[in-house]
C-alpha cells in the first residue's frame, strides 16, 4: 500500500487551498499512491478568520470538488475541512449552552463548526468529526468547534483505516478502539501547535499511539509558518510540520521537518498481524460500539 502524506501551508483562501489539494491528489495518484493524506484544516487555517464563515456542508462545492478529483484519479484522499454544526450561547458562568441565554447579546453567540475529515475515493465517501477538541494550553477550540460523536473507519483496497485528528492523539483509547474495530492503519491529520517541548511531545505521542494500537500511524501536519527563528515558539495553532509515518512496532519510518514537503511511503499491512502476534497488547480490550 502506497501512502502520500502532504505537509502543506493552508492559506486563508478556500479556493486556493482547493487548487493545491486537487493538484496534490493528481500528482500522488500519478506516482502510484493508494491513499493521500492532507492535514487538519487543509481547507482553511486556524487563526485566519471565522471558521463558520468558510464552513461548507458535505454536499457543498469544496467537498464535491475533492470527491470528483479523487474519483477521477482513482485514489482515496483524506482532507481536513470545516462543516456547519450548531449555534451556542455563553452563560454567565462561561459555560456554553445551545439554547439562548436570557439577556445574551451577539458577543455571547457562537456559530460552531465541525472539524471534519472528508474521505473520498473510488470505494466511497465518509467523514469523521473530531471528537476531542483542543481545550488546552489556554486555547478553547470548543468555543467554535462542536465535538463529534463517533469513531470512523473506512476501506482502501481491503485495508481498514481509522481516523483521528490532532488532539485526539492524546487519548490512547481512541486508537485502541479503532484497532479493535479492525484498523491496521490510522491516519492523523494535524495542525499541531509549536511551542516549548511540543515537538518532543509530538514524537512521544505518535510513537505511543502506534504501539498502543499496533497500527501503522500516518500523521499529516500543517507546515510551520514563519521563519526559522520562530521554531520552538508558541505562535498559535498553525502547525509544526514533522509529519510522520510510524510502524506498528513503534519504528519511525519517515518524518519531515518544519517546511512544506511530501512523503511517499510503501507499507505492508500484513506486518501488523506479525507484530500483533509478538506484541499482543490489544488482548483484554473490549470492542467499542461507537465505531461506525
Query: Which one has a higher pLDDT value, 162 or 227?
Result: 162
139 pLDDT band, cuts 50/70/90, is: confident
Give the angle subtended at the CA of 167 by the CAs of 161 and 170, to the nearest 5°: 85
pLDDT tens for 239-268 read 999 999 999 999 999 999 999 999 999 999
More confident residue, 109 or 64: 64
Mean of per-residue pLDDT scores for the chain: 92
Q: What is the largest CA-CA distance in the chain?
A: 61
Domains identified in the chain and CATH numbers: 2-290 (3.60.110.10)
Q: How many whole angstroms separate alpha carbon 58 and alpha carbon 254?
A: 32
Distance CA 271, CA 78 (A): 23
pLDDT value, residue 264: 97
The pTM for the full model equals 0.91
Please tell me the predicted confidence (pLDDT) of residue 105.
Answer: 57
- Weakest mean pLDDT among 93-97, 122-126, 145-149: 93-97
Q: What is the pLDDT of residue 138?
A: 79
Residues taking part in catalysis: 40, 130, 166
pLDDT tens for 12-54 read 999 999 999 999 999 999 999 999 999 999 999 998 889 999 9
Q: What pLDDT does residue 54 have?
A: 97
Instruction: State how far the Cα of 290 lies from the Cα of 176, in Å rounded to an integer.
Output: 12
Report residue 92's pLDDT band, with 50, 70 and 90 as the boundaries.
Answer: low
Q: What is the CA radius of gyration of the chain?
A: 18
Residue 94, pLDDT score: 58
Does residue 151 have a pLDDT over 80?
yes
SS3 (DSSP) at 82: strand
157 confidence band (pLDDT: 50, 70, 90): very high
Amino acid at each position: 500500500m502506497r501512502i502520500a502524506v502532504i505537509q502543506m501551508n493552508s492559506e486563508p483562501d478556500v479556493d486556493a487551498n482547493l487548487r493545491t489539494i486537487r493538484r496534490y491528489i493528481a500528482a500522488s495518484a500519478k506516482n502510484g499512491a493508494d491513499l493521500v493524506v492532507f492535514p487538519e484544516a487543509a481547507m482553511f487555517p486556524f487563526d485566519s478568520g471565522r471558521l463558520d464563515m468558510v464552513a461548507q456542508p458535505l454536499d457543498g462545492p469544496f467537498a464535491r470538488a475533492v470527491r470528483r478529483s479523487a474519483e477521477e484519479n482513482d485514489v482515496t484522499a483524506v482532507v481536513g475541512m470545516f462543516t456547519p454544526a450548531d449555534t451556542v450561547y455563553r452563560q454567565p458562568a462561561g459555560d456554553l449552552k445551545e439554547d439562548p441565554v436570557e439577556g445574551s447579546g451577539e458577543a455571547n453567540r457562537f456559530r460552531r463548526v465541525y472539524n471534519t475529515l472528508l474521505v473520498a475515493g473510488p470505494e466511497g465517501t465518509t467523514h469523521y468529526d473530531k471528537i476531542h477538541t483542543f481545550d488546552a494550553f489556554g486555547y478553547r477550540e470548543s468555543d467554535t468547534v462542536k465535538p463529534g460523536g463517533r469513531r470512523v473507519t473506512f476501506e482502501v483496497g481491503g485495508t481498514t483505516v481509522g481516523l483521528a485528528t490532532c488532539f485526539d492523539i492524546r487519548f490512547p483509547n481512541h486508537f485502541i478502539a479503532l484497532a479493535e474495530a479492525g484498523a491496521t492503519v490510522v491516519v492523523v491529520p494535524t495542525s499541531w501547535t509549536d511551542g516549548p517541548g511540543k515537538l518532543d511531545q509530538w514524537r512521544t505521542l505518535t510513537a505511543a499511539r502506534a504501539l498502543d494500537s499496533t497500527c501503522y500511524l500516518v500523521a499529516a501536519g500543517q507546515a510551520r509558518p514563519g521563519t526559522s527563528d520562530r521554531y520552538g515558539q508558541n505562535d498559535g495553532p498553525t502547525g509544526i510540520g514533522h509529519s510522520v509515518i510510524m510502524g506498528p512496532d513503534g519504528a519511525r519510518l519517515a518524518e519531515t521537518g518544519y517546511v512544506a514537503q511530501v512523503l511517499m511511503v510503501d507499507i505492508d499491512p500484513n506486518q501488523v498481524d506479525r507484530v500483533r502476534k509478538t506484541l499482543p497488547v490489544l488482548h483484554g480490550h473490549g470492542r467499542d460500539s461507537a465505531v461506525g
